[in-house]
Amino acid sequence: MQIDLNGEARATGARTLAALIEEQGFDAASVATALNGNFVPAPARAAALLHEGAKVEVLAPMQGG
């Protein structure tokens, strides 16, 4: 299926947000996620189903100052 991941079109076989994070190699413990503009807390990612055209944001904390 085709989704939008951080503003880029991507093909994925993942069916849940948790599976997508693993598939794309993100560190699940250190990212924040949103699905179609709604924040998804880490414990809810396995139940967050993806669909064709879903808009996913995965944000990692930034360091610096």
Domains and CATH numbers, the chain: 2-59 (3.10.20.30)
pLDDT tens column, 17-58: 999 999 999 999 999 999 999 999 999 999 999 999 999 999
The whole-number pLDDT of residue 63 equals 66
3-class SS of residue 44? helix
| pLDDT at 65 (0 to 100) | 60
Residue 60 has pLDDT above 90, yes or no: no
